[in-house]
Amino acid sequence: MSSPKLEIRVLKSEANIRAVYDDWFKLADSLDSAGVTQYPQHVLSCFLAFEAIRNESKIVAVFRGNHICAVFPVRQVTRRLYGARVRVLEFLDFPVPVRDVLIDPRESADEVFNFLVDGMAGAIEGAWDFMCFRGVLETSVLVELAERYALSVKSHYDFSHKLDVSHAGYVQNVLKSKVRSNLRRNLKKLGARGTYEFRTIDSYPQLEAAFDAFLTTEAAGWKSVRGGKRAVALHADQTAFYRSLLQESARHGRSHIHLLSLDGEPIASDYCILTADACFSLKHGYDEQYSDIAPGNLLREYTVEYYEGNNVVNSIDLVSGMKWHLAWQPERRKVYEVRFYNKTLRARTLFGLSRLRRKYSKR
């Protein structure tokens, strides 16, 4: 008996997402190292919190029978390129800079992707010229597909860092002596100022108070003053997103907020979401009046040692490639922008122009 044919469906509502939530979650968990954006709780929380995402989202899913085997969250935008208006499919405007699609590893990625390319216009109810996926790790299936798909272009533009905490002794065995010395000195200075405590909160109702502490500490620094008012607490939709993601992930025991408190008051926080084998440090902050003791680094040392004793978490994903991460000797992974052009004459012409532009820009 032959297996059911592939079918494209667009998840247009919260009800649509929740109807396949459990199967989607299990599929993400089945990957060797799924990213946080590949899980349904992340997409759902974005859908609920951000009006623009609700209005623009095309959560395109591929099914084989009743089995979900791929998810491509995209939006359709119009850009000007080579003097023409170009119709582009790109990732939804997720708060997390490293992003990915989801394809069942038991399926042929090439078959699923080509089926999606051929049926995408009908799914989004409109023509498109190319897909532009920015924020893709070197380990992504999209990078593999770009090696085999004839009308594709990939470009490396950044790095993303992670710490391997699968073995004990990261601080002692990996960090340079100067960094270890600074950590010891700053911890001693912290102790001289009062009574300090490191804590990990992982369940409700305690997570509600911990979330408030996270909002306060994340807004206590440069982000709320001279950083373009980027603190989460200053934006109702971002606050709603991080609260929803915390709640949804806590249902699976995968929400952690790490806190450093001094005399009972939080001075640093680390908002983390766990996947099957990794901790994603999505947001962190500290009160800048304590910047001389680098409380963020002290909290990072605590989280590294906390997860070293954990049988589930093998790595701490720092999500971005910030320069201050380098003191922690992270694994540096390349981040790509990957483009896949449609098979139409117009798209093939754009692909050819893109290849010419890249060729002459390297001279």
- Contact partners, residue 77, CB within 8 Å, separation at least 6: 87, 88, 90
Mean pLDDT by 10 residues, the chain (363 residues): 87 96 97 94 97 94 96 95 92 95 97 96 93 97 96 96 96 97 98 98 98 94 58 95 98 97 97 96 94 96 93 94 95 97 94 82 61
Q: Counting every residue, how long is the chain?
A: 363
Q: Could you tell me which of 302, 292, 306 has the C-alpha nearest to residue 193?
A: 292
Q: Is 49 strand, coil or helix?
A: helix
| Residue-range domains of the chain with CATH | 6-159+334-361 (3.40.630.30), 166-313 (3.40.630.30)
For the beta carbon of residue 353, count every other beta carbon within 10 angstroms: 13
What is the rounded CA–CA span in Å between residue 279 and residue 274?
4
How many whole angstroms separate alpha carbon 209 and alpha carbon 215? 10
Say if CB 343 and CB 151 are below 8 A apart.
yes
pTM of the model: 0.93
Distance of CA 84 to the CA centre of its chain: 32
- What is the spatial distance between Cα 263 and Cα 193, in angstroms, rounded to a whole number? 9
Q: What separation in angstroms does the CA of 150 have from each of 48, 266, 352?
A: 37, 53, 11
pLDDT of residue 33: 86
Question: Do the bridges between strand 102-103 and strand 278-286 make them parallel or antiparallel, or are there none, so unpaired?
Answer: unpaired
Residue 8 parent element (H or E) = strand 6-11
Query: 152: closest CA among 194, 114, 202?
Result: 114
E strand intervals along the chain: 6-11, 57-64, 67-81, 84-91, 102-103, 130-137, 152-164, 196-201, 255-262, 265-274, 278-286, 315-317, 331-341
Residue 331 in 3-state DSSP?
Answer: strand
DSSP strands (E only) in 182-314: 196-201, 255-262, 265-274, 278-286
Residues near 163 by Cβ (< 8 Å), separated by ≥ 6? 170, 304, 315, 316, 318, 328, 330, 331
CA R_g for the chain? 22
Question: 44, 54 in Cβ contact below 8 A?
Answer: no
Instruction: Tell me the two tokens of residue 68.
Output: 């979900």
Q: Residue 271 and residue 246: Cα distance in Å, rounded?
A: 9
Distance of CA 140 to the CA centre of its chain: 13
Return left, alpha or beta for 81; rule: phi > 0 is left, psi -120 to 50 is alpha, else beta.
Answer: beta
Do residues 318 and 282 make contact, with C-beta atoms less than 8 angstroms apart?
Answer: no
Picking from 298, 338, 306, 335, the residue whose alpha carbon sits closest to that of residue 161 is 335
Residue whose tokens read 């709320």: 224
Q: Which backbone phi and psi does 85 adopt, to 5 degrees?
A: -85, 120
Give the Cα separation of 242 and 210 in Å (integer). 12
Backbone angles phi, psi at 257, to 5 degrees: -120, 120
